[in-house]
């Protein structure tokens, strides 16, 4: 939906010099929501590809291939983390202008008639084609392209093979439209009238070891610099990044290496766009993979619910003295343990399980949402019991799949499920402890 709204805004603009002409706060929020949906979708796309990469102990590889696959997985996860960082930045921008933060996106595969540049947003295993699409997503804008060295420039040539759809707007045009919108509204309304959000709702994160930096937005200068950060980290907007760490360059390097490895196939034969719900196309998972896929969806959905509620920073969620205990509990649940000790292990496990199609393919994580905006927006007394209920469903299903403590897992379910069950129990115990300590 957010891409469609951005496309309509692009079509509305008559000025040939730029793609978007933001007229009011509502227009700006629409573009920011499109940005949030894009960053969220790209993060999942890269994570999915990373989960499908061949792993030692599971797939036969030479030491050279083994070492390259580890690096590629690391690269895909790193870029995915930075897309999450960008999602955090966009939500800080939304919060800063008093708009609701946004974690919504369309289901995979997404409608290419509305996606930026008409590029595909779908869950695909890592191969030459999907990497080609990643490069297109992260490529510098037209001006910067002219300055690209030949070894990088040649990776742009595959564009036509992947993009039969007309480009409504590019990723760069979207963010430049957002930047121009901030500047225009600041000029017209004044900084104090535009930046009316609660400063305490800004979620700040700085961890160089994870390559992540999310800063607070307090005014137009912060907004400008954070939009620049998104463009710089992704595509190397100015092309002054001398450390060659842009997503575009990382993916180009991977493509070069892929070529050097010849006929080596870097990923397991994992299906495209796996689904448990089966409501938006894709490949329906069957058998044990469907159950693990369901558990994955529950974990992913709880994570999104927790982060979205935390970013909202609602007054009713604060303690009597304004203490953000509940907000912190949401972030403590969503960020680390669920992402690292449930979502990733489950995602990797699925790529080891037959998809159930009977054609030798393996399953993958479906990344399907199970709850709606109405669930998220429930008042405090309803939301927290609802979230706890979702966590309990997740625990119960993990318990069934992991089997008895000293016995085997459910048929067809990898042993790693026992580790996931342990982690989920710990996370829910931690969550319960934190929520018990919250002053009413």
Partner 1 sequence: MSAKKTRPTKAEPKKGKGAKTARRTPAKAAPKGAAGASRTVPKRAPTKAPGTAPARPKPSGSALKRKVTLEWEGWFQIRTSTDPDPTDEPYGVSGFTFALPGEPLLDRVVRFASPAKDPGFNPLQPRSHSPPYGVTVRNVLVGKKPVKDHPLLGATIDLLPDEKWRPPTEEQRNNALLGDTGDDGYMFVDPFIFEIRKDDAVITCHDHLDPKRPEVTVLEATAEQLKRRGFYDMDLANVDAFMAAVNQAMAGEFTSYAGFRTKRRGLIERDVDLLRSIPQASRTPEQERGLRNLEFRLHQLMNTNTGDRPFIRLGATWSRRLTFNGKIDINKAARKNLGGHRFPFSDVTVEFWFGVFDCDTHSAYAKGTLTMYVAPI
For binding to partner 1 (CB under 8 A), which residues are involved? 55-57, 63-64, 66-67, 70, 73-74, 77-78, 81, 207-211, 243, 245, 328, 332, 336-337, 339-341, 344-345, 416, 419, 422-423, 425-427, 429-430, 432-434, 437
CA angle 119, 28, 25 (to 5 degrees): 160
Min CB(121)–partner 1 separation in Å: 23
Q: How far is the CB of 10 from partner 1 (least distance, A)?
A: 35
CA dihedral sign of residues 295, 89, 84, 281: positive
Positive or negative CA dihedral for 22, 25, 27, 28?
positive
Q: How far is the CB of 67 from partner 1 (least distance, A)?
A: 5
Q: Torsion angle, CA of 212/215/217/219, rounded to 10 degrees?
A: -120
Gap between the Cα atoms of 231 and 35, Å rounded: 12
**C-beta of 273 vs 341, nearer to partner 1:** 341
Q: Taking the complex as a whole, how short is the minimal distance between the CB of residue 434 and partner 1, in angstroms?
A: 6
Q: Which is nearer to partner 1, 78 or 114 (CB)?
A: 78
The nearest distance, CB 208 to partner 1, in angstroms, is 4
Q: How far is the CB of 165 from partner 1 (least distance, A)?
A: 33
d(CA 76, CA 96): 30
Q: Is the preceding peptide bond at 371 cis, omega within 30 degrees of 0?
A: no
- Nearer of residues 281 and 319 to partner 1, judged by Cβ: 319
The residue whose two tokens read 């199970």 is: 370
Q: How far apart are CA 293 and CA 139, in angstroms?
A: 33
Q: How far is the CB of 65 from partner 1 (least distance, A)?
A: 10
Nearer to partner 1, 61 or 185 (CB): 61
Nearer to partner 1 by Cβ, of 223 and 318: the residue is 318
How far apart are CB 70 and partner 1 at their closest, in Å?
A: 6
Rounded to a whole number of angstroms, the minimum distance from the CB of residue 296 to partner 1 is 14
The answer to whether the beta carbons of residues 363 and 351 sit under 8 Å apart is yes
- Cα(222)–Cα(232) distance, integer angstroms: 15
Closer Cβ to partner 1, 56 or 190, answer by number:
56
Cα gap 349→363, rounded to integer Å: 9
Please, which residue, 62 or 151, has the CB nearer to partner 1? 62
Nearer to partner 1, 145 or 215 (CB): 215
Which is nearer to partner 1, 78 or 387 (by Cβ)? 78
Phi, psi (deg, nearest 5) at residue 297: -60, -40
Q: Closest distance between partner 1 and the C-beta of residue 328, in Å?
A: 6
Report how far residue 383's alpha carbon sits from residue 331's, in angstroms, rounded to the nearest whole number.
Answer: 15
For residues 246 and 226, what is the distance between their CA atoms, to the nearest angstrom?
15
Helices 63-96 and 25-52, packing angle to 10 deg: 160
Q: Which residues are CB-neighbours of 392 under 8 A, at least 6 positions away?
A: 428
Alpha-helical (H) ranges within 202-343 are 220-235, 247-260, 288-312, 325-333
Give the ranges where 369-414 is alpha helix by DSSP (H): 373-376, 380-402
Quick one: 19 or 81, whose CB is closer to partner 1?
A: 81
SS3 of residue 284 by DSSP: strand
Nearer to partner 1, 94 or 302 (CB): 302
Structure tokens at 139: 């490529």
State the residue for tokens 């990044």.
241
Q: Report in angstroms how near the CB of residue 137 gets to partner 1 at its nearest.
A: 21
**Mode of pairing for the β-strands spanning 283-284 and 212-214:** unpaired
Q: Give all strands (DSSP E) within 120-178, no chain letters.
A: none
């Amino acid at each position: 939906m957010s891409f469609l709204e951005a496309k309509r805004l692009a079509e509305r603009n008559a000025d040939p010099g730029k793609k978007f002409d933001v007229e009011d706060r509502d227009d700006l929020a629409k573009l920011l929501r499109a940005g949030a949906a894009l960053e969220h979708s790209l993060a999942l796309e890269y994570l999915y590809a990373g989960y499908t990469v061949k792993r030692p102990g599971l797939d036969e590889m030479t030491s050279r291939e083994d070492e390259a696959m580890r690096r590629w997985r690391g690269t895909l996860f790193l870029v995915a983390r930075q897309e999450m960082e960008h999602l955090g930045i966009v939500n800080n921008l939304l919060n800063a202008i008093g708009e609701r933060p946004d974690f919504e996106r369309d289901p995979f595969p997404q409608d290419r008639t509305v996606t930026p540049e008409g590029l595909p947003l779908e869950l695909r295993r890592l191969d030459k084609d999907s990497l080609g699409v990643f490069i297109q997503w992260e490529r510098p804008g037209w001006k910067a392209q002219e300055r690209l060295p030949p070894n990088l420039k040649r990776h742009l040539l595959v564009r036509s093979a992947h993009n039969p759809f007309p480009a409504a707007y590019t990723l760069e045009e979207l963010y430049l439209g957002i930047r121009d919108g901030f500047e225009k509204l600041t000029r017209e309304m004044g900084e104090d009238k535009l930046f009316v959000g609660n400063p305490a709702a800004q979620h700040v994160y700085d961890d160089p070891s994870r390559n992540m930096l999310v800063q607070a937005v307090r005014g137009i200068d912060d907004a400008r610099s954070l939009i620049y950060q998104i463009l710089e980290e992704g595509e190397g907007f100015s092309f002054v990044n001398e450390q060659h760490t842009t997503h575009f360059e990382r993916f180009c390097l991977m493509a070069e290496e892929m070529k050097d490895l010849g006929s080596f196939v870097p990923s397991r034969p994992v299906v495209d766009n796996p689904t448990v719900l089966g409501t938006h196309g894709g490949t329906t998972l069957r058998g044990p993979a469907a159950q693990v896929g369901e558990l994955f969806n529950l974990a992913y959905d709880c994570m999104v619910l927790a982060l979205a509620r935390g970013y909202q920073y609602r007054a009713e969620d604060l303690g009597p003295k304004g203490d953000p205990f509940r907000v912190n509990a949401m972030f403590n649940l969503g960020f680390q343990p669920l992402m690292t000790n449930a979502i990733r292990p489950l995602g990797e496990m699925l790529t080891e399980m037959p998809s159930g199609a009977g054609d030798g393919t393996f399953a993958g994580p479906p990344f399907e949402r199970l709850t709606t905006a109405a669930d998220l927006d429930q008042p405090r007394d309803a939301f927290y019991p609802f979230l706890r209920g979702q966590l309990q469903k997740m625990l119960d299903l993990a318990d069934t799949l992991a089997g008895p403590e000293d016995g085997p897992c459910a048929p067809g379910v990898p042993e790693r499920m026992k580790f996931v069950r342990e982690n989920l129990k710990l996370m829910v115990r931690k969550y319960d402890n934190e929520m018990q300590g919250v002053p009413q």
